[in-house]
Amino acid sequence: MQDIDLLAIVTRPDFPSGNGPIGDHLGLARFAAERPNLAVRTIVLNDRETRVHIEADDALIRQGEEGPIDLSRVGLVLYMPVSLEVEETNLAAIAFDECHPLFAARQWRPLTEYLEHLLPRTKRCVNTPAATRRANNKLIQLDALRKTGFPPPLTAVSTGFPEKGALASHSALVRKNVSEGGWKSQTEFSPARLVNKDAPGDPLPAIWQIPLQADHEFRVYVMGEEVIFVRLERDAAITDVRMTQSGRPKARIVEGSAARRAHMLAAARALELDYAVIDAMPVGDGLAVLEVNPNGVWWFLPDDVASVLEGRFHAFLDRLIAEVRS
């Protein structure tokens, strides 16, 4: 059985993004090709035929024609699915001709839960599934950040425009999805948006925040102890910066002060994350944390910026692998 230096657990490559299928969005094939001395394996969720054998402390997983993965022989686990929705996290794809697809999916779901239970027992897991899932729940995240000194902009969760509380007197608020996933269908995305108080509403729960005004915001990549600031240029008419320039906002890597780096690192650690991507906006001399993503990506950024971030991410993996090996 093979010793594995890096086991990556990722979302299926045809999962949609604003710029098409995500593909190998972490560049893991390039990472492996450039490091032939490392054993790199991948488990792709909800994508491949999968075979498992679990007995006592042994857990073997095999996908496709590749040899089995023995979790006890894994050094570093990279737990980085971009979607944690139930239907996206089964270890196996359900066959198109399955007579009872919902029942079949239910048989696989406990295995995903058990795998997530086992992963922290490996030598190193970034991020741990429990921390990833806590941060992925926006309500738990808001609660944790508020209690550790990172209060968000004035915020409420409400079914419809808030009719009571501190936000009720505002004429317009930013409405965000409660779910992490914003795709309503394969072709329709639900971005954060500015909603007037008298606009027709819907009964779905949503996160409501006061609008912040700035000509830019930051997407901050925390990779272990390294903190990288990417400045995104905002369009005043567009609330969700990801929708700027048809999903390709102007962006550049900038230097962050020592105080700001420490602030962002502390926000990630408040959620027990070794890797995080933080959305933040300038407010006075400080930064307001809008959201912390445990599985944030760079695919919507300009190619030159994305290339640098991928390289820094691969260097982050190199450091983790070296620590596990030492």
Strands 275-283 and 286-293: antiparallel
153, containing H or E segment: none
Q: Quote the CA–CA distance of 140 and 206 in Å, as a whole number.
A: 14
Report all structural domains of the chain as residue ranges with CATH numbers, in order of start.
4-126 (no CATH), 134-151+214-309 (3.30.470.20), 155-209 (no CATH)
Residues 81-107 pLDDT 10s: 999 988 899 999 898 899 999 999 999
Q: Are the C-beta atoms of residues 320 and 126 closer than 8 Å to each other?
A: yes
SS3 content of the chain, % helix, strand, coil (to 5): 30, 30, 40
Q: For residue 102, what are its two tokens?
A: 């919902």
Return the bridge partners of 251, or none: 232
Per-residue pLDDT of the chain (326 residues; tens, 9 = 90+): 789 999 999 999 998 876 778 899 999 999 999 999 999 999 999 987 899 999 998 999 999 888 999 999 999 999 999 999 888 999 998 988 999 999 999 999 999 999 999 999 889 999 999 999 999 999 999 999 999 999 888 999 999 999 999 999 999 999 998 887 766 666 666 778 889 998 887 888 999 999 888 889 999 999 999 999 999 998 776 766 666 655 678 899 999 999 999 999 999 999 999 999 999 999 988 899 999 999 999 988 999 999 999 999 999 999 999 999 99
